[in-house]
Amino acid sequence: MDLKGIKLTWLGHATFRIETPAGKTVLIDPWVMGNPKCPDSEKNFKKVDVMLCTHGHGDHIGDAVEIAKKHNPVVVAIYELGLWMANKGAKQVSGMSKGGTQTVGDIKVTMVHATHSSGIEDGDQVIYGGEPCGYVIEFANGVKIYHAGDTNVFGDMQIIRELYSPQLALLPIGDHYTMGPREAAYACKLLQPKAVVPMHWGTFPVLTGTPEALRKLVSGVEVVEMKPGQTI
Ligand code: NI
Ligand code: MN
């Protein structure tokens, strides 16, 4: 998979750091401090220019507020989750909704559908966080990466392929809280990416899906198994 100068680093679970060719740092679903798979050397950031949040669960936004306060990135989230982030101290929130595209830093971000839940665990309360989502990120060099968030497979992934044709898909495969390999293989059929990076697996014993299991079920797509901390 040639990302044409984009550096994609998996920090374990659904957390990715992307360096664009122009030097911007994009962080997706920032969960590092409590993330058992995130290497210690990756828990602190030099800078964060853009932060994308897929939904309000702690294993996705666990460190979002702290990082937003420290690095002041543009925070992209669905409207209600964005309001909550702003209330917690994020200064540059750019809330949006599904179907919309906005330019942040040097990337274009389209918010797309995901089927999941999105309550925000805030102290002993669960707060409405709007709907969960995924993102299609378009880089200046033409590469498009789809981060599915937490979701099962859904038929409108075909629309994502027809409208955006992402070359690389970051898909959850762990099962239990998201789709497992069987549904992820069907997602590959709908999305037809060149390559898929499995995520949201191996973090806890209950997440039993593996890249190997996915690889056995797909054809015509490269399954790229990353190690936490690895960059491609
Ligand atoms: Ni979730
Ligand atoms: Mn999750």
- The confidence score (pLDDT) of residue 17 equals 98
At residue 1, the pLDDT reads 81
HSE toward the beta carbon, residue 15, CA cutoff 13 A: 27
- Which chain residues have CB less than 5 Å from ligand 1, an ion? 57, 150
Ligand nearest to the CA of 57: 1
Structure tokens at 154: 């859904």
- Domain 7-223 indexed as CATH 3.40.350.10: no
Residues of the chain with pLDDT under 70: none
The residues, any chain, with a CB within 8 Å of residue 164's CB and separated by 6 or more, are 110, 112, 136, 138, 144, 146
In the reported structure, the alpha carbon of residue 12 is separated from the centroid of ligand 1 by a whole-number distance in angstroms of 14
Domain boundaries, the chain: 7-223
Q: Model-level pTM greater than 0.95?
A: yes
Residue 61 and residue 80 in contact, taking contact as beta carbons nearer than 8 Å: no
Q: Within 13 Å and on the Cβ side, how many CA atoms surround 212?
A: 2
Please tell me the distance between residue 58's alpha carbon and the centre of ligand 2 in angstroms: 8
The rounded Å distance from CA 179 to ligand 2 centre is: 11
- According to the model, what pLDDT value does residue 217 have? 98
